[in-house]
Structure 1
Amino acid sequence: MEKEIKTEISINTTLDKVWAVLINFDNYPNWNPFIKSIKGEVKIGNNITVRIEPPKSKGMTFKPRILTFETNKEMSWLGHFLFSGLFDGEHKFELIDNGNGTTKFIQSEKFKGILVPLFKKQLDNNTKKGFEEMNYKLKELAERK
């Protein structure tokens, strides 16, 4: 009962510029079509409040715990639906320096739990499309900076 979604995009600018857009959580409502808000202190071990709205899906607010937060490199969190083991998601943003002034942005999530098979179709379609839409908007904003 495990499922992973992984998307990536090449962004024609440096790591620090992509990271600056990615961690400006106050600006998410203005540009991010998938993650509408992130509130709270983003620090390893802390819980934050995240609002997601995948395309053609009902939005959801949850309170994941920050697992990693490494400047210009990676941020991840672990969230649960109701309680651990039912439907857990480990969401990760990774930035990789391509060595030529461009950045590879990878957005992924590993889902585990007994409800994962029930949501497989929605994850493959709506959630993945939400990742892709966010990736394109992040690219657009970061390349403008």
Structure 2
Amino acid sequence: MDSIETHVDIDAPPEAVWDVLMDVDSYGEWNPFIDVEERPTEGEQVTVHLTPPGKPSVTMTPEILVADGRELRWRGQLFVGGLYDGEHSFTLTEQPDGTTHLVHAETFSGVLVGPINWWLGDSTERGFEATNEALKERVESRVVA
């Protein structure tokens, strides 16, 4: 496995989803997998704590590549580049009915991809899915019909 891609439809406009994604101070209230210490800003590094279900937490400081209101994407690495690198993204697409389709994905590269993803891959994918469902619940609970 060199990539993970998960999807969820959220009954809210992309702007509402984006607002929750950018409110990193509240991640502890709803996000079971990801905690971000600083607000993501393109070109800056942030501290990210990932806790895959049933596995130890991992802390990294990825660089924010895109934070434009429709996509949040960062690139991180384990120790030095080329060992185990990941490009993590949340992509928001507005549907014809005004709701949002979210693609939550990560692409991995480096010499340690095989063994690390063998150990963490399934758990990480479950973490993505749990984040998607928690994000959906958080956003939809805030939207006034």
| TM-score, scaled relative to structure 1 | 0.94
SS at match of 2:75: strand
How far 1:102 sits from its partner (Å)? 1.1
What is the aligned length? 142
User: Structure 1's 33 and 83: CA in aligned 2 closer, same or farther, altered over 3 A?
Assistant: same
Which consecutive unaligned segments of at least 5 residues does structure 1 have? none
Query: Counting strand residues as a fraction of each chain, which structure ranks higher?
Result: 1
| TM-score, scaled relative to structure 2 | 0.94
Counterpart CA distance in 1 for 2:79 and 2:122 is: 23
CA contact (8 A) 2:23 2:39 kept: no
SS at match of 1:45: coil
Sequence identity percentage: 37
One-letter code of the match for 2:25? Answer: D
Counterpart CA distance in 2 for 1:85 and 1:20 is: 33
Counterpart CA distance in 1 for 2:140 and 2:119 is: 31
**Match of 1:47?**
45
One-letter code of the match for 1:142? Answer: V
Is residue 106 from structure 1 mapped to residue 103 from structure 2 by the alignment? yes
Which consecutive unaligned segments of at least 5 residues does structure 2 have? none
Cα RMSD, aligned residues only: 1.2
**Match of 1:14?**
13
**Match of 1:33?**
32
One-letter code of the match for 2:20? Answer: V
User: Structure 1's 118 and 133: CA in aligned 2 closer, same or farther, altered over 3 A?
Assistant: same
CA contact (8 A) 2:24 2:38 kept: no
SS at match of 1:114: coil
How far 1:125 sits from its partner (Å)? 0.8
How far 1:67 sits from its partner (Å)? 0.4
How far 1:130 sits from its partner (Å)? 0.1
Deviations 1:106-141 (A, max 9, x none): 100000000000022334310000000000000001
